[in-house]
Amino acid sequence: MAYELHYWPGIPGRGEFVRLALEAAAADYVDVCRGDEQQGLGVPAMLHWLEDPSVPRPPFACPFLVDGRTVVDQTAAILLYLGPRLGLVPQREQDRLWAHQIQLTVADLVQEAHNTHHPIAGGLYYEEQKPEALRRAADFRRERLPKFLGWFEAVLARNAGNARRELPRLVGGRLSYVDLSLFQLVDGLLYAFPKATRRALKKTPHVAAVHAGVPRLRRLAAYLASERRLAFNEQGIFRHYPELDA
């Protein structure tokens, strides 16, 4: 049975981290909200899981994955679940746990990137919190972005064998879902904060190599060129407001 991915249809957002793993493994999946309501898909199919009181274990938010009777929300938990099933994480428990920790740290930076344009409330428009956003984004560019990318760089630099690899890996010697997520994270940061991110990447060459190398993988290249890949936009997590970059 195909995996069901439930996420808002108009933005890459957090759903894209899951989508990249499914695509890299050529997994059979349905992108539920982008399907036809006449066929029981679309946003109403997602809202059933979030809002129907008969759901015994309701997801808190999307993205979530439905696999038969298993429902998993929280992006990092979805990838923890999918990783072994898609062959995108090493076998050893220690390695899987390490991959998960890295993924949770990706999630933290995603949240901080979101908070640059929504420092006060997710329910208000950007325009209603712009002075605060200007202050928060300045701190993000100066402190947080270099700190996080510096940590990913250390993880890559300390992983044996990466000095000889054109595409360095975060965990072990083979591609894992965290490499795909780091690509997506950097891609989003380059969209939202092109100046600050390019500056940070100069000091983190392994991170830059992951961002450059992942789109050259055969299945990823095909996916990224397809219409299944959604473009970043100003409804999503990574938004390009030029006044927030420098």
Which chain residues interact with its own copies by CB under 8 A? Answer: 53, 55-60, 69-70, 72-74, 76-77, 80-81, 94, 97-98, 100-101, 104-105, 108, 111, 115, 119-121, 123-124, 129, 132, 135-136, 139, 143, 148, 151, 154-155, 158-159
Nearest distance from residue 97's CB to its own copies, in Å?
6
Q: Which is nearer to its own copies, 7 or 98 (CB)?
A: 98
Distance of CA 60 to the CA centre of its chain: 18
Question: Minimum distance from CB of 127 to its own copies (Å)?
Answer: 14
6 CA to centre of own chain: 14
Rounded to a whole number of angstroms, the minimum distance from the CB of residue 74 to its own copies is: 4
- In angstroms, the CA 228 to CA 225 distance is 8
Q: Among residues 162 and 184, whose Cβ is nearest to its own copies?
A: 162
> Nearest distance from residue 14's CB to its own copies, in Å?
12
Q: In angstroms, give the least distance from the CB of 169 to its own copies.
A: 13
* Residue number, 159 or 232, with CB nearest to its own copies: 159
- DSSP of 121-169, one letter per residue? -TTS-GGGGHHHHHHHHHHIIIIIHHHHHHHHHHHHHTSTTGGG-SS--
Nearer to its own copies, 34 or 165 (CB): 165
Nearer of residues 131 and 242 to its own copies, judged by Cβ: 131
Minimum CB separation of residue 98 from its own copies in Å reads 6
C-beta of 126 vs 212, nearer to its own copies: 126
d(CA 209, CA 139): 26
Report strand pairing: 29-31 vs 3-6: parallel
